[in-house]
Amino acid sequence: MTIKKYLDFRLLGLTGSMMLIISEFLPWFSGLSLLNIYILTTSVAIEDSFLYLFPLICGIICLVGAIVIIYNMVYKINSVIINFIGLGFFLIFVVEIIPRDLLYIPNAGIGFYFSIIGSILIFFDILNILLIKQE
């Protein structure tokens, strides 16, 4: 594969986690970012407001996982487990938020697409890490 000569696939995780972190600050619904929605829902004491921070937490944890594997290939199982924990936060966010805001998804802002692409990239990063042959 020629592409492998020029591109380190471990960067998938780095890109994915960065996209998830950035998505927190990009518009999701009605031009509001998740951080804005979190602040709004907290001020009116909506119970599950903390869920809106989960993509950011997921991004940060997966970023640590991506850095671990870039730092040293030996720690690939550690990196996968860190990514599992990180993605767990995103899965809970998606399961709770998507069915609730399903009607607004067609009009969702770029933040939504950033987070979905980011999580898919992290998923492929985990697969890639596990398929890399140890030299």
Residues in the site for another protein, rule: CB under 8 A? 47-51, 74-78, 80-82, 84-85, 88-89, 91-92, 94-96, 98-99, 102, 123, 126-127, 130-131, 134
Nearer to another protein, 39 or 127 (CB): 127
Residue pair 110/27 in contact (Cβ under 8 Å)? The answer is: yes
Write down the least CB distance from residue 88 to another protein, Å.
4
* Buried/exposed 73-100: b ≥16 CB within 10 Å, e otherwise: eeebeebbebbeebbebbeebbeebeee
Nearer to another protein, 75 or 109 (CB): 75
User: Vertex 47, ends 105 and 22: CA angle to 5°?
Assistant: 45
Residue pair 37/52 in contact (Cβ under 8 Å)? The answer is: yes
Q: What is the DSSP letter of 133?
A: P
Write down the least CB distance from residue 71 to another protein, Å.
12
Nearer to another protein, 2 or 76 (CB): 76
Write down the least CB distance from residue 55 to another protein, Å.
13
Count of other CB atoms within 10 angstroms of residue 41? 16
Write down the least CB distance from residue 18 to another protein, Å.
21
Nearer to another protein, 5 or 23 (CB): 23
